[in-house]
Structure formats: structure tokens, C-alpha cells
Amino acid sequence: MKNQTSQRAFSQRQLRVGELVKQNLGELFIRNEAKIPSINSKLITVTEVRMTPDLKTARVYVIPLGGVDMKETVRALTEYSHLVRRALSKRLDIKFLPKLTFVEDNSFEYAEKIEKIIRKIKINDTEKKRYN
């Protein structure tokens, strides 16, 4: 009997190709090989790439340095994704070059929010101990 969870695990192949795309996109942005006119790609970090099961679409999670102008960066990357894809095609030798979908990576903000909550709880606990 199969485990009926709403979220499927990624296959080894999806993870491997995703990591390959992530590394090459990172190098591509550092070297400014995509020549995106409106942004400085050297300041973009690719945090994760998730591949679809057929490996034809990649969801690329990006964050600009310092997290500033995130929406503008994602908009520009989406608008000029054809340039990024062309530069990526020169680096990768795979059967199908995935269609790239750029997404804001909010995981750092989420982690920071959780850390603040934990710190607040610790402070409250120490104050309770002090008064008891």
C-alpha cells in the first residue's frame, strides 16, 4: 500500500539535474554571461532549483544581495529568461534544456521570523525564572 501524502518526493534524477542547473546558473550570473540589461547579475544568488518530473521546467529560487529589490530582480529575470536560457544552453549538455521560471526565495525571511519568535520565547522564559 502506497503512502498517500499530498507532496511527492523528488526523484534522484530531478535532484541531480536541479543541482546541475543551479551550479551553472550561479556561475553564469557571477560571470554576467547572460547580459541582462537592467540588473547586475553578479549580485544574484540562486538558492534552489526544483525540476518537474519530466525535467522540462525548472523553478529557480533567487535572492538578490541583501534581499533588496527582489520583485524587480525576479521581474527582470523573467522578462529576459530567454537570454539566461541561451547562455545556459552553452554550458549544459542535456537532452532538453528546461524552461526557467524565476521565483522569489522568501525562506531567509521566514527563518529570520522563526528565530525572532524563538528569541522572544527564551527571553520570556528567563524572565519567568527570574521572578519565580
| Residue type (1 letter), 1 | M
Instruction: With respect to residue 122, please indicate whether it lies within any of the assigned structural domains.
Output: no
Q: What number of other Cβ atoms are within 10 A of residue 41's Cβ? A: 24
Is residue 123 one of the residues assigned to a domain?
no
Q: List the CATH number of the domain containing 91.
A: 3.30.300.20
**Which grid coordinates are listed for 20?**
546541475
pLDDT-derived band of residue 93, with 50, 70 and 90 as boundaries? confident
Report phi then psi at 129, rounded to 5.
-65, -35
pLDDT bracket for residue 69 (50, 70, 90): confident
Q: Decide which of 84 and 42 is more confident.
A: 84
Please report whether residue 111 resides in a domain. Answer: no
d(CA 95, CA 66): 36
pLDDT category, 38, cuts 50, 70, 90?
A: confident
Average pLDDT over the chain reads: 85
> Can you tell me the mean pLDDT for 55-62?
93
Structurally, the chain folds into a number of domains equal to 1
Nearest by Cα to 47 from 119, 126, 103: 103
Structural domain including 69 reads 12-105
